Amino acid sequence: MIFPVTNQCLQSSSSTRYKSRSQKARVLTEAWVESRVTCPGCGGSLQLLPANTRAADLRCKQCGEMYQLKSQSRPFVRRILGAEYNTTIKSIQNGTHPSLILLHYDPNSMIVKSLEFVHKSWISSSAIIARKPLGPNARRAGWQGCQIDLDRIPALARIQAIKEGTSLSSEQVRAQWLKAQSIAGVTADSRGWISDVLRLVDALPVEFTLQDIYRFEVDLAKLHPSNHNIRAKIRQQLQIARDLHVIEFVSRGRYHKIDPTNPGAG
């Protein structure tokens, strides 16, 4: 595994034939990821897919994990552009949505400032925001895109590889990935629920109580209007989180969050 990444400078002779800054940035970031970044799950090499491949940009040669690269010259704050709305929802439901690679670089020095992976298993329909369909005069009239709301994805799913210019060790990256991957065997509907619950847990202290999470009952009811027993569902999701070693039971109604960056945690 290449982590920690020792060369964080975006350099590639193939970008010189492009005049557009956005095209140059795309070529540079794709080339850098392919040559410098390895699969966080197995350590295999990443290979760029043919241009215009639907949904994904890179594939791990060893385990086949698919990735979609999102790169930009400003920090990732909340929402990022996604693909066509209905296609995205269907890919989440059938488990084919790729994991994400979020790369932030300095546009002046062309140095990578941050790099993180978002595990596909935690990208639920709750995180997908539909955009307004294109108007009747547009070339693709009626086409409806979407945005991915990173605030609706729990911190557990966001695997840091480079943070504020500092690269994490391969052990730290792999520990985070394996912790995030632990939910892969859960059904899509259940993943959506536990993702929503753990996203709210992120806002709580390291040690929290059942009553603390009950405060979000109204928020969860809005996300899941067909469920009329929200508190029971919350308790069920906390039990799943315990089984996945994401949180641990302290005492009756009290829980402790486990640090996913610690290889020995859980």
Q: What does the pLDDT look like over 222-264, one tens digit per residue?
A: 989 999 999 999 999 999 999 888 899 999 999 999 876 664 5
Supply angle C-alpha 90, 246, 210, rounded to 5.
100
The hierarchical CATH code for the domain 13-173 is 3.40.210.30
What are the domain boundaries of the chain?
Answer: 13-173, 188-257
pLDDT confidence of residue 52: 80
Rounded distance, CA 19 to CA 246, Å? 47
* Token couple for 136: 């009747």
What kind of fold does domain 188-257 have according to CATH? Arc Repressor Mutant, subunit A (1.10.10)
pLDDT tens digits, one per residue of 149-162: 999 999 999 999 99
pTM to 2 decimal places: 0.85
pLDDT tens digits, one per residue of 138-192: 899 999 999 999 999 999 999 999 998 888 888 899 999 998 998 877 877 788 8
Output DSSP code: residue 143. Answer: -
